Structure 1
Amino acid sequence: MLKEFFIKKKKYASIPTEQIKQDVPEGIMTKCPGCKKIMYSKELKKSLMVCQSCGHHFQMNSRERIASLIDTDTFNEYDKEMISVNPLNFPDYIEKLEQDRRKTGLNEAIVTGEGKINGFDAVVAVMDASFRMGSMGSVVGEKITRAIERAIDRKFPFIIFTASGGARMQEGVLSLMQMAKTSAALKALSNNGGLIISVMTHPTTGGVSASFASLGDYNFAEPGALIGFAGRRIIEQTIREELPEDFQTAEFLLKHGQLDKVVSRLDLKETLTTVLEIHAN
């Protein structure tokens, strides 16, 4: 009894980890993978998904990007109901597409349409990495091509925002054909005097980086974006050399003349407005 009397009781009661998790609503806080700072998710959205501490650019879905760039109530979407089929009878492909439709509220990995950016008309195509990793299948290629054709008809600039893992393997060669189709459509737009602006976001890889993503009159990219064709490990194994730490980043490509400018998302609307104003006539 005397021993128990002199044993000090804990000043604070411990709270089980699981209980803490239940007390903090899921999604209310976000941790930055760059600087590890924890911030309110609402504040992060207000800053266009850019960390205010280190400038890390989080991925942004197509709806968020359109809302951040296109003037209010001016966006008119194209080909919204177009959906993919399963031309190669790839196992479970239709089921996976349906899961992504429910998860994202989109019918495919790209949103196309026209709208105004600070009063300037433009046709835009915005890829969405949350749908099948933004992979390019037949519908993605067709929607891009149709958007380009509308830009030709309406004499509007064409702006594309890329975010993709590359060609969609479930559609085989039909997916690869979209590289040539979209590139030919951009050539037709260029021949008609149209303006093409490409904005590469994280990640832009595979057949997308090797086709329409790199064919802009202006090629921009967001800071830190991964941009490349084959994966780093594959290249290192092929050439049997160690690649630079910043290889396949937007900054590396800018340094080697493959980009015109690396633009922060916070400055992107102003930059696009300047380019559109220069080419307005």
Structure 2
Amino acid sequence: MAMAEQRNDKPGRAPNTERRRGWLSRIAPGVRGLTKKDTPENLWVKDPDSGEMLYRPDLEAALWVTPSGNHMRIGTKLRLDYTFDDGRYERIATPVVVDDPLKFPDTIPYPDRLASARKATGEQDSMAIGYGEILGQPAIVVVQDFTFMGGSLGVAAGETFVKAAQEAVKRGCPFVIFTASGGARMQEGTLSLMQMARTTLALNEVKAAGLPYVVVLTDPTTGGVSASYAMLGDVHLAEPNATIGFSGRRVIEQTIRETLPPTFQKSEFLVERGMVDQVVERKDLPEKLSSILKTLMMGRERLPPAA
């Protein structure tokens, strides 16, 4: 019994209220020490430009634009929330398509990749549709989510785009898209390439109805997307420093055997060459879009929303 009492008296063995209180409460009486449970794991976010650690609530308040001006990539929900008045909008259901039409062989089965992307983003595919008002101007808005398999264009995204175009015609309102993509989805082969033509034909219906189609290019917009609907807008806006192009920078440099300027394929570079009309900061996009849409819709009778 005595030996047991000796062991318990050793440092670290006996219950020690002071140790359990933690170092913070010892140097600042009355202040409760923080535990790992109290601190969110994602409280700090690294600035992609400077490497500085940014306080997440501050970054959220700045619409995910860093102090250095980097417009960080955001998902579907945030984009729709930032675009529509007071974050109020109607989500329009996207068409249901076959997940793996070609039974594509891969290191990870294509259905498993889709399941993983759906779980991570909460979306069915890389495109989603919302209907609401942008500073009072009704509009159909499509958002491409780069976190969903690189925003790649496949059959599901193509069907979603076509449906959005049809909804714009039915509701008699403008069509706006926020593009973010690495190009066509290789797991769907030729079927994904066909979406370039299908989306172009759908846009013909929008333009035949005399409705505006406005494109907002975000980082990155590349590949088959930039070779189709991303460059067919009546007006092209872009977020600052977004990468916009068809082929990758290294591929072009190896082909022409020249070193490209650092600003090549950036928003500002494309404005100088007439491919983009204006670079607009994220916080100013709703006001700019509303102004453009109201101007382009001037003189048109406003149709009541579809049931």
Structure 1-normalised TM-score?
Answer: 0.88
The Cα shift of 1:75 comes to: 1.4
How far is the alpha carbon of 1:43 from its aligned partner? 1.0
Paired with 1:90 and 1:207, the residues of 2 have a C-alpha distance of 20
1:104 CA displacement: 1.1
Q: Distance in 2 between matches of 1:190 and 1:26?
A: 48
Q: What secondary structure does 2:85 align onto?
A: coil
| Residue in 2 that maps onto 1:56 | 70
Give 2:268's aligned amino acid.
E
Query: Would the aligned equivalents of 1:83 and 1:107 in 2 still touch at CA under 8 Å?
Result: no
- The one of 256, 276, 280 aligned to 2:293: 276
Ranges in structure 1 where 5+ consecutive residues have no aligned partner:
1-12, 14-20
Identify the match of residue 68 of structure 1 among 58, 71, 82: 82
Residue 81 of structure 1: how far off its partner (Å): 6.3
The DSSP-based 3-state class of the residue aligned with 1:27 is coil
Match runs of 1:138-177 below 5 Å: 138-177=155-194
The equivalent residue for 1:104 is: 121
One-letter amino acid of the structure 1 residue matched with residue 70 of structure 2: H
Whole-Å separation in 1 of the counterparts to 2:93 and 2:219: 25
Whole-angstrom CA distance in 1 between matches of 2:130 and 2:42: 31
**Structure 1 residues 119 and 84: alpha-carbon distance in aligned structure 2, compared to 1, 3 A threshold:** farther
Match of 2:231 in 1: 214
Asked whether the 8 Å contact 2:180–2:221 carries over to 1, the reply is yes
**Post-superposition shift, 1:191?**
2.1
Q: How far 1:79 moved relative to its partner?
A: 2.3
State the SS of the aligned residue for 1:184. helix
Any conservation in 1 of the 2:154–2:195 contact (CA below 8 Å)? Answer: yes
Distance 1:94 1:190 in 2: 36
Contact in 1 for aligned 2:81/2:88 (Cα 8 Å) = no
Aligned position for 2:103: 89
Aligned residue in 2 for 1:10: none
Which residue identity lines up with residue 71 of structure 2 in the other structure?
H
Alpha-carbon RMSD across the aligned residues, in angstroms, is: 1.9
Q: CA 1:139–1:149 in 2, change beyond 3 Å: closer, same or farther?
A: same
Q: Is the 8 A contact 2:95 2:160 kept in 1?
A: no
Partner in structure 2 of residue 267 of structure 1:
284
Does the C-alpha gap of structure 1 residues 59 and 73 become closer, same or farther in structure 2, counting only changes over 3 Å? closer
Structure 1 distance, partners of 2:41, 2:88, is 34
Q: Which residue matches 1:78?
A: 92
Q: Which has the larger radius of gyration?
A: 2
Q: Which residue number corresponds to residue 128 of structure 1?
A: 145
Q: Secondary structure at the match of 1:227?
A: coil
Q: Which residue of 2 aligns with 1:199?
A: 216
Q: CA-to-partner distance for each residue in 1:237-260, whole Å, 9 max, x for gaps?
A: 111111111111111111111000
Kindly indicate whether the alpha-carbon contact (under 8 Å) linking 1:81 and 1:107 is maintained by their aligned counterparts in 2.
no
Equivalent-residue separation in structure 2 for 1:84 and 1:244 (angstroms): 43
Q: Distance in 2 between matches of 1:172 and 1:115?
A: 34
Kindly provide the amino acid, as one letter, of the partner of residue 84 in structure 2: I
Percent identical pairs in the alignment equals 43
How many Å separate the matches in 1 of 2:297 and 2:136?
11
Q: For 1:102-146, what per-residue CA distance to the aligned partner results, in whole angstroms no more than 9, with x for missing partners? A: 111111111113111111100110000111111000010110011
Distance 1:260 1:104 in 2: 31
CA distance in 2, matches of 1:100, 1:235: 30
Aligned partners of 1:116, 1:156: CA distance in 2, in Å?
10
CA–CA distance in 2 between the matches of 1:118 and 1:170? Answer: 39
Long gaps (5+) in structure 2: 1-22, 24-34, 299-307
In the other structure, the counterpart of 1:42 is 57
